[in-house]
Structure 1
Amino acid sequence: MKNLVNFAVDYAKHGFSVLPMIGKKPLIKFADQPPLTIDEITKIWQEHPYANIALRTTNFFVVDIDRHENGADGFKSIRELNHPDYFRKTLAQTTAGGGQQLFYMKRDDLSVQQNIGWLPGVDIKAHINNYVVVAPSINHEKRYEWLNHEPIVKAAPELIHEINKQAPNNYSPTEFKASGERSATSELFEKIVNGLGETGGRNNALASFIGGLLFRGVNAKEAYQLALVANQNTNSPLSDNEVNRTFESMLKKELRRREVKN
């Protein structure tokens, strides 16, 4: 691997908010923080010469298209949307996992909502505290590569309307604090919405989540689907392989528990 510091500096000079990554995990805390300066980028890559590069989705958003092992085919979903006019020609890259990402500038007249699971196999990464790993980063010995050198164009209004139409609404309920102690079941429900937490503890959080569902008698098929939703709602979700391995491990553990109990 080579040091990507020059690429990181170049991204920053072009106005992007750069993040250093180990694989797909951020090396620094960045939520609601200002972009790294050129000097800060240079220092970080001196200390971590093989760090990958990610860009925060601050003034742009990404249509993230992938094929998942659970059967969701983002490329098929885009075709079946039957609106090629929504997807203006813009900067695009292939990901290390074989997917594609289309980069669009956010509009001043329309806000775009982050929408994980917009279509089967298609996520919209748009929150200012989200990010995408970019070329020439490498993950599991596979490289991110730019498909073209097109400028990032402004998203079509029709695309944003379509994304927002299927995105969660902006209603915010009145704050309510339950009386008494919080139950493990309530925490399970909240994890479906809030995701698995910080990158360092996602695997353990997922295992605990799956184990809690199975222990409470949720069928394996439904428990797996809920695990996928919780993972998709995580800021930096685990790969399908990691989710599948964790689920199989927890399912075997639950089956052993039931055998002992009987």
Structure 2
Amino acid sequence: MKNLINYAIAYAKAGFSVLPMHDKQPLIKFADQPPLTTNEITKLWKQYPFASIALRTTNFFVVDIDEHDGGQDGFKSIQEFKNKHPDLLTHTLTQATAGGGQQRFYLKRDDTTIHQNIGWLPGVDIKAHKNNYVVVAPSERNGKKYEWLNHDPIVTAPKQLIQLINKNNNYADDDISFDKFSGLKTKTTLLFETISNGLGNNGSRNNNLTSLVGGLLFRNVEPEDAYNLACIANSNTNDPLPDKELNTTFSSVQKKEIRRRGG
């Protein structure tokens, strides 16, 4: 693959937060860090001349459409959504991914917070966390290219679209005001309780472990820390999972999270 340094600098000058990538793995630590400067990008691409490019979803989010294993057809899901809400998925900057999917880019709103929503629709993820990212054109993966399908400007998402995305979110906390005690439990509360109380009985241990690890990684807990917390939860279980089964489940969830972050 050719050196993409000029593209990386151009993205940075356009206001994006750029990351150098190998396959779908960032080559630097970046969580909660400021965007790379053009000088930093130049140094990194000298160090990694064949790095691909990802953009952090800081001031924009992505509707990530794909055909997943298990028969989830994101394109069908999006068409069904358009049939119900014809005015919400407005024309915007869109790219084709190396895996045959599509990603639609929308600017975040100032008046409404959007929550990341993995599995918003069957085969459709919403990538929106400030520490998430998507690989972008003209990067390549396994010999296939990411390509822009248009050069439209990125438009601001309609408020109603944000509201529908935030509804029925599997991982994000409920919209609760924390300026006073609400008495309600959030999804983060349930993660803490799972760590403390264990993974439940034999029939639910794997599902609870999957939810725990997925919730931790979604919240950008470092994988090593997430693994340690999973081990604590397992040790607090009356009939713990064998180490091999725990490791297999953790590895599967981690790989899935990496795929979803990479686009």
Provide the residue aligned with 2:39 in structure 1. 39
Q: Which residue does 2:54 correspond to in 1?
A: 54
Shift of the 92–238 alpha-carbon distance from structure 1 to 2, 3 Å rule, reads closer
Give the C-alpha shift of residue 58 in structure 1: 0.1
Matched residue, 2:196: 178
- Report the count of equivalent residues: 220
Instruction: Judge conservation of contact 2:64–2:127 (CA < 8 Å) in 1.
Output: yes
Aligned CA RMSD, in angstroms, stands at: 3.5
Distance of 2:251 and 2:165 partners within structure 1: 23
| CA distance, structure 2, for counterparts of residue 139 and residue 131 of structure 1 | 16
Contact 2:138 2:147 in 1 (8 A): yes
Residue of structure 1 in register with 2:216 after alignment: 194
When normalised by structure 2's length, the TM-score is: 0.73
Tell me the CA shift for residue 179 of structure 1. Answer: 8.2
Q: 1:234 to 1:194 in 2, by over 3 A?
A: farther
Q: Tell me the residue number matched to 1:71.
A: 71
Deviation, 1:84, is 2.9
Per-residue Cα deviation, 1:10-40 (whole angstroms, up to 9, x for no partner): 0000000000000110000000001001000
Unaligned runs of at least 5 residues, structure 1? 203-208, 217-222, 240-262
Say whether residues 1:80 and 2:80 are aligned partners. yes
5 Å matches for 1:213-252? 230=253, 234=257, 236-237=259-260
With the length of structure 1 as denominator, give the TM-score of the two structures.
0.73
- Alpha-carbon shift at residue 215 of structure 1 (Å): 5.5
Structure 2 counterpart SS, 1:64? strand
Any conservation in 1 of the 2:24–2:258 contact (CA below 8 Å)? no
* Equivalent residue, structure 2, for 1:91: 93
Give the direction of change, closer, same or farther, for the CA distance of 1:102–1:238 in structure 2 (3 Å limit). closer
**Is the 2:3–2:49 Cα contact (8 Å) retained in structure 1?**
yes
Moved over 6 A (4+): none
Residue 157 of structure 1 and its aligned partner are, at CA, apart by 1.1
Who is 1:5 aligned against? Answer: 5
